């Protein structure tokens, strides 16, 4: 990630260009997460967490939730909107905001170390991998493998433009990219696909396109003996 990419994200939050925010907890999360059957107290890492309410839901399931987010505006808004009063302290290159089972490290994901994160059982990725430009996604996945234990699983939600991937000549859809990026370390289970016809707000006069909301469960392959 370049400092320019980071500057663009920080500016998005300053300008309130944050269409990616969900008003409510993600329905695919609440429907499919329980099937993971995670123990109470499991530690869940939420990379590029923004001010996602999904973290509150995860904490209510009994998990320890550790998010990382670049923008202090997002982190402040998260705690304020959820009426939580966090403690705040310096933590290496990050500022750690903490309340109960919710912790957010405010700073750059690419500066995180394994030691910063500690034990992680599962990663929850919604609009993190897919929010990044294509050339950075490989680095994102490579960095993830450095900072979370090899046996941590990934619960990944994506929003995919079905028409884009079905267009002849289109080299690589998100689904293929996920396979290319994750199949070395993980079994990939596409657990659910929901297709909706939606109008793109940027081209409101065009007919609706088909969007696919997908749930991927990535299970870490046992490490070679």
Q: Which residues bind ligand SAM (CB under 6 A)?
A: 1, 6, 9, 20-22, 48-50, 52, 68-71, 74, 108-110, 126-128, 131
Nearer to ligand SAM, 29 or 152 (CB): 29
Could you give the CA distance from residue 139 to residue 144 in angstroms, rounded to a whole number?
8
Other C-beta atoms closer than 10 Å to the C-beta of 85 total 8
Nearer to ligand SAM, 69 or 121 (CB): 69
Nearer to ligand SAM, 48 or 120 (CB): 48
Closest CA to 144 of 96, 104, 107, 112: 112
Nearer to ligand SAM, 78 or 186 (CB): 78
Q: Are strands 102-106 and 64-69 parallel, antiparallel or unpaired?
A: parallel
Nearer to ligand SAM, 39 or 88 (CB): 88
Residue nearest to ligand SAM (CB): 50
Give the nearest distance from C-beta 126 to ligand SAM in angstroms. Answer: 4
Nearer to ligand SAM, 39 or 138 (CB): 138
- Please give the backbone phi and psi of residue 36, each rounded to the nearest 5 degrees, phi first: -75, -25
Closest CA to 129 of 165, 103, 156: 156
Could you give the CA distance from residue 192 to residue 217 in angstroms, rounded to a whole number?
9
Nearer to ligand SAM, 50 or 86 (CB): 50
Give the nearest distance from C-beta 209 to ligand SAM in angstroms. Answer: 19
The b/e string for 175-197 (b: 16+ C-beta within 10 A; e otherwise) is bebbeebbeebbebeeeeeeeee
DSSP-derived letter for residue 76 is: H
Burial (CB count <10 Å: 0-12, 13-18, 19+), residue 215: buried
Q: What angle do CA 46, 218, 151 make, to 5 degrees?
A: 75
């Amino acid at each position: 990630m370049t400092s320019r990419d980071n500057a663009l994200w920080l500016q998005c939050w300053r300008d309130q260009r944050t269409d990616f925010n969900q008003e409510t907890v993600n329905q695919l999360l609440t429907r499919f997460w329980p099937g993971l059957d995670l123990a109470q107290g499991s530690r869940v890492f939420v990379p590029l967490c923004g001010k996602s309410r999904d973290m509150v839901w995860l904490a209510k399931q009994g998990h320890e939730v550790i998010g990382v987010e670049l923008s202090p505006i997002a982190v402040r808004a998260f705690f304020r909107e959820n009426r939580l009063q966090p403690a705040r302290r310096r933590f290496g290159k990050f500022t750690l905001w903490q309340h109960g089972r919710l912790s957010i490290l405010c700073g750059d994901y690419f500066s995180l170390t394994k030691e910063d994160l500690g034990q992680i059982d599962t990663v929850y990725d919604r609009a993190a991998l897919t929010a990044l430009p294509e050339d950075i996604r490989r680095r994102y996945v490579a960095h993830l493998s450095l900072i979370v234990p090899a046996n941590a699983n990934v619960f990944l939600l994506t929003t995919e433009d079905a028409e884009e991937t079905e267009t002849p000549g289109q080299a690589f859809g998100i689904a293929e990219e996920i396979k290319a990026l994750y199949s070395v370390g993980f079994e990939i289970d596409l657990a659910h696909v929901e297709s909706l016809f939606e109008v793109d707000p940027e081209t409101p006069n065009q007919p609706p396109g088909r969007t696919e909301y997908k749930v991927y469960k990535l299970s870490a392959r046992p490490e070679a003996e």
